[in-house]
Amino acid sequence: MAEFILEIGTEEMPARFVPKLAAELEGVFAASLDEAMVENGGVKCYATPRRITAHVASIALTQRQEEETVTGPPTRIAYDGDGNLTKAGMGFAKTQGVSEDALFAMETGKGEYLAAKKVVGGGKTIDILPELCIKGIESLSFPKKMHWGDYSFTFGRPLRWLLALLDDQIVDFSLENLTTGRTTRGHRVMGPGPHEVASTTEYFSVIENACKVVIDPDVRKKMIVDEGNRLAGELGGEIVWNDKLLEEVANLVEFPKPLIGDIDPLYLELPREVLLTSMQSHQKSFGVQSPDGALMPHFLTTLNIEPQDVALVKKGWERVLKARLEDARFFWEADCTVEFETWLDKLENVVFLGPLGSVGDKSRRIERLCGKLAEVLGESQSIMPGEIEKYAMAGRLAKADLVSEMVIEFDSLQGKMGGLYAERAGKGEIVSKGIYEQYLPAGPDSPVPSSLAGALVSMADKVDTMAGCFGLGKVPTGANDPYALRRCALGISRIIMEHELDVDLDTLLREAQAAYVDVKWKVEPADALDKLKEFFGQRLRALFTGHGFKTRVVDAALGAGFSDIRTLKARLKALSEFSKDADFEQAVLTFKRAANIIRKQGDQAGQALTGLYDADLFEDAHEKTFGSQLETIAPRFDDLWEHGDFGGLFGLLGELRPAVDGFFDNVMVMCDDTDIRLNRLNLLKALVDRLSRLADFNALQV
């Protein structure tokens, strides 16, 4: 076994490209080696802003050999009437590189065909690697590729060198003006090179010692965290780590050197959110806080060099950050002199979405929806009657900060600044929290609003956008979702479930539609509402299957209705547990049979089925047992349903099934007597009405 290294040297890549490129190259190269039948111990890729490296620590020097059977033309075409090979048969032998004597007839599902056995593989790995390397490089994807010079090859950034070694041998290939060699380049300042790599065993040593490059992103990240924690500890504080920013910073540098800088304590008067955003968004720096969580007058940045004059570099970073903080202080002080009414007036001139009016119109719709939600939830969420207007106010003021000086400059602070301004203006916790948390959850893994006010404003904002977009026919297609409607549906669903809100989805969607006035819709409201409900069903299906629930179980739970999202997950969990019972499949067949009879025979019953039956019309003992059992279970069913005990409800079905089986085995439902037939159908209807609240048993294919 040998060792292989491929290094692709580039101009500096944006930090967001770096980890993705390493993952892509690793996947493509590993698949290519397997396809080429080259045994290996696995591929590991590393990336920095200036290089992407693929490392195969153990790779075979020759391909694996395999014998395979290849079929050619049908024998009726491959041989003439005298049993001699035709041109088609001889051509097949020549193409496969076998003698004509080695050909044989083979029976297949489509008839008899000419076939040959041949050995594939066995080639030298060093002869195969060039094509695999070129394929790997060309397969790397970028949002936009670029040309340079007069070359036709495109890449995310210009290529500057290629190193490819199999032990001490150069794997020879070319891309445009670049030919592979054993030369690498190092850190632009600390170890520029060029540096020769005699063999793969020396590569990582050369990179670390001569090039002064930390090639492993995980090591770079650990260096930043460890040194940052040490420096902050010396000041009696701790770093305010941000995982997304840490990932970015680790991929901006090849030699991370954390440095603590100072800021004027004057700026600590600014809100925490403003200070951290100024540090993180513009200077890629982290805040420092004391053990009690208060920000300290320091920040942590990461250099890409070991500076000769640390004090000079530190002073430069402090000067640049001071300018940003000075801007932030100016915006804060300016905004604090403005009344919310001034911002609300400005919202009338900010377009929300084409025919859907201004952001001012949207804020009034959110106000209406928040008030409705607070009124509906009322006692169940301990909302006092006098507080309903506070929730409505949170909706009305939710978008006001979009025209504030601070948010115009730092758009990532929208919502948060509005909440801070509302708190400062004495609007109360309901209003300030509702505004502050309105954009949560920001994604599938981010938290939902912690406050009820934030939950209601977030839901109102999202459902308003969804109702408007669906009314205009702006429905997501494929990966295209410019208005993040999938995220809106998922966010609303998560909020309802995690806050356990007794909100009817159908009512919420209708209220969102009704909040729009004087809008010329492109889709009829009834059709748009149906599409909205179907869209929510799709998102809930994706959510739960993504959490590991079986698709058929999810479909069965959704098929029973999902307007009450609050209890849907509990019902789904209970159904999932029920599906693990040993006699689950037989139970499904039993209850499906009942549902199918009602579905198929209900229209032929002569009158509408109500689920009301007369026990005096029961004739058979099994019919009487079924009816008696159903009467006994009915109040228990209703009580368990009222308390959301879905596990207990599915347990009741287990108790009831023997009686249902006995009924089906011994009683003719569709008998000749009209009254008895109708009574039996209503008996089954009473059962099916309860079953359909738990699950759509027809979706549980067994």
Read off the tokens for 126.
């060093």
**What is the pLDDT at residue 291?**
94
Residues 466 and 380 in one domain: yes
> Looking at the predicted structure, is the pLDDT value of residue 162 above 80?
yes
Within-domain flag for 479: yes
Q: Which residues, other chains included, contact 128 with Cβ-Cβ below 8 Å and sequence gap of 6+?
A: 36, 38, 63
The residues facing 47 across adjacent strands are 52
d(CA 215, CA 53): 8
Residues 46 and 105 in one domain: no
Within-domain flag for 585: yes
**What is the pLDDT at residue 593?**
86
Give the model confidence (pLDDT) of 592-615 as tens digits: 888 888 877 765 556 788 888 888
d(CA 240, CA 236): 13
The stretches of 547-610 forming alpha helices (DSSP H) are 551-559, 565-578, 584-601
Q: How does DSSP assign 166-181, residue by residue?
A: ETTEE---EETTEE-B
Q: Report, as an integer, the average pLDDT of 389-394.
A: 96
> Looking at the predicted structure, is the pLDDT value of residue 340 above 90?
yes
Give the model confidence (pLDDT) of 519-570 as tens digits: 999 999 999 999 999 999 999 999 999 999 999 999 999 999 999 999 999 9
**CATH code at position 434:** 1.10.3210
Give the model confidence (pLDDT) of 612-655 as tens digits: 888 888 888 998 998 998 898 889 999 999 888 999 998 888 88
Backbone angles phi, psi at 159, to 5 degrees: -80, 140
Within-domain flag for 562: no
d(CA 328, CA 399): 20
Q: Report, as an integer, the average pLDDT of 456-463.
A: 97
Q: Report, as an integer, the average pLDDT of 307-331.
A: 94
Within-domain flag for 518: yes
Looking at mean pLDDT, say which of 90-94, 458-462, 609-613 comes out highest: 458-462
> Looking at the predicted structure, is the pLDDT value of residue 289 above 80?
yes
Looking at mean pLDDT, say which of 74-78, 188-192, 608-612 comes out highest: 188-192
Provide, rounded to the nearest whole percent, the portion of the chain with pLDDT above 90: 67
Q: Is 10 helix (H, G, I), strand (E, B) or coil?
A: strand
**What is the pLDDT at residue 605?**
55
d(CA 543, CA 537): 10
Residue 701: pLDDT band with limits 50, 70, 90: low
Provide, rounded to the nearest whole percent, the portion of the chain with pLDDT above 70: 99
Q: Across 183-246, where does the E strand assignment appear?
A: 183-184, 195-196, 238-240
Residue 112: pLDDT band with limits 50, 70, 90: confident
Within-domain flag for 247: yes
pLDDT, the chain, mean: 91
Residues 493 and 531 in one domain: yes
Distances (CA, A) of 309 to 213, 305, 427: 21, 11, 50
Residues 522 and 646 in one domain: no
**Peptide bond preceding 194: is omega within 30 degrees of 0, i.e. cis?**
yes
Q: Report, as an integer, the average pLDDT of 239-252.
A: 95
Residues 453 and 522 in one domain: yes
Q: Across 318-369, where does the E strand assignment appear?
A: none
Q: Per the structure, how many domains does the chain have?
A: 5
Read off the tokens for 63.
């391909």
Which of these, 676, 679, 622, 629, lies nearest to 656 by C-alpha position? 629
Within-domain flag for 356: yes
Residue with tokens 């459902």: 463
* Domain boundary residue, one of 312, 335, 358: 335
Number of CB atoms found within 10 A of residue 186's CB:
23
Please provide the distance, in angstroms rounded to a whole number, between the alpha carbons at the two ends of the chain: 50
Read off the tokens for 288.
């420092």
> Looking at the predicted structure, is the pLDDT value of residue 66 above 80?
no
Among 18-22, 464-468, 665-669, where is mean pLDDT lowest? Answer: 665-669
Among 312-316, 366-370, 673-677, where is mean pLDDT lowest? Answer: 673-677
Q: How does DSSP assign 277-321, residue by residue?
A: HIIIIIH--EEEE-TTS-EEEEEEEEESS--S-HHHHHHHHHHHH
Residues 384 and 482 in one domain: yes
pTM: 0.80
Q: Tell me which residue range forms the domain holding 590.
A: 572-699
Which of these, 251, 329, 264, lies nearest to 299 by C-alpha position? 264
Residues 55 and 97 in one domain: no
Compute the half-sphere exposure of residue 122: CA atoms within 13 Å on the CB side of its CA.
6
Q: What is the DSSP letter of 255?
A: S
Residues 610 and 684 in one domain: yes
Q: Is 692 helix (H, G, I), strand (E, B) or coil?
A: helix
Angle at 677 between CA 676 and CA 683, to 5 degrees: 90
Residues 526 and 413 in one domain: yes
Give the model confidence (pLDDT) of 346-387 as tens digits: 999 999 988 999 999 999 999 999 999 999 999 889 998 889
**What is the pLDDT at residue 606?**
60
**What is the pLDDT at residue 15?**
92
**What is the pLDDT at residue 604?**
59
Residues 24 and 166 in one domain: yes
Which of these, 187, 260, 207, lies nearest to 196 by C-alpha position? 207
Residues 269 and 283 in one domain: yes
Within-domain flag for 280: yes
The residues facing 260 across adjacent strands are 300
* Domain boundary residue, one of 335, 366, 385: 335
Contact 419, 437 (CB under 8 A): yes
Residues 50 and 175 in one domain: yes
**What is the pLDDT at residue 211?**
96
Within-domain flag for 359: yes
Comparing 325 with 94, the larger pLDDT belongs to 325
* Domain boundary residue, one of 498, 533, 548: 548
**What is the pLDDT at residue 92?**
87
